[in-house]
Structure 1
Amino acid sequence: MISHLVLLKCRPDVSQTQIDDMFTQLNSLVGVIPGLLSCSGGENNSPEGINRGYTHGFVMQFESIEARDNYLPHPEHKKVQPAIHTVLNECEDNVLVIDF
């Protein structure tokens, strides 16, 4: 199994409706993109204070490396990307992605 972890720096003026829409669109990919097993995400609520400006994140679970690799160029993934870009802060490091 492959975990796809994405951290986002969202603009402070973004509405909760926009954030909810982004997560709804991401969650809707489960069952549509082959090999995408789950998606969960939300707003940072860690009390540690070491989030380095990342305000939201999500994790997708894929059944294999191949499933993850097929997700990246998938047309349904491409349809969700504008919802993500709409909420992002305008800075160089507004997204951090690691897979493990």
Structure 2
Amino acid sequence: MIRHIAIIRFREGLHAAEIESLLKSVHALQDQIEGILAVSSGASSSPENLEKGFTHGFVVDFVDAAARDAYLPHPAHVKVGQSLVAAAHGGIEGILVFNLAM
């Protein structure tokens, strides 16, 4: 299994409804792309205050690396990714992505 983790620093002035819509679009990918086991998302709730401005994130669990690799160039993922980059503070600089092989 591959766990794909994305942490986002949304730009100031973005409304909560817009953020919710963006995260829902990530969840919708599970119905559009094969190999996705689960999607979860939300705002940070850490009491440690170590987020460094990154306020929200999501996790996509894939069956294996091949499923993750097929997801990356998939047109539905590209469209959602472009929307997230446009909403992030500083564009792509406002997004951190990390993958874990489990």
After TM superposition, the score normalised by the length of structure 2 is: 0.90
Q: Which runs of 5+ in 2 are unaligned?
A: none
Cα distance in 2 for residues equivalent to 1:27 and 1:47: 26
1:20 maps to 2:20:
yes
Cα distance in 1 for residues equivalent to 2:31 and 2:37: 7
- The residue that corresponds to 2:42 in the other structure is 42
What do you get for the CA RMSD once the two structures are aligned?
Answer: 1.4
Contact 2:85 2:91 in 1 (8 A): no
Q: CA deviation at 1:99?
A: 0.3
- The residue that corresponds to 1:85 in the other structure is 85
Q: Which runs of 5+ in 1 are unaligned?
A: none
Q: CA deviation at 1:91?
A: 6.5
Contact 1:7 1:54 in 2 (8 A): yes
Contact 1:31 1:37 in 2 (8 A): no
Contact 2:85 2:92 in 1 (8 A): no
Cα distance in 2 for residues equivalent to 1:92 and 1:71: 18
AA paired with 1:98?
F
User: Higher helix fraction: Structure 1 or Structure 2?
Assistant: 2
Cα distance in 2 for residues equivalent to 1:42 and 1:94: 16
* Range that drifts further, 20-29 or 74-83: 74-83
- The residue that corresponds to 1:99 in the other structure is 99
Cα distance in 1 for residues equivalent to 2:6 and 2:46: 16
- The residue that corresponds to 1:30 in the other structure is 30
After TM superposition, the score normalised by the length of structure 1 is: 0.92
1:53 maps to 2:56:
no
The structure-2 alpha-carbon separation of the partners of 1:3 and 1:13, relative to structure 1 and needing over 3 Å to count, comes to: same
AA paired with 1:23?
L
Q: Cα deviations across residues 1-56 of structure 1 (Å, max 9, x unaligned)?
A: 10000011111210011101101111001121010111111111111011111111
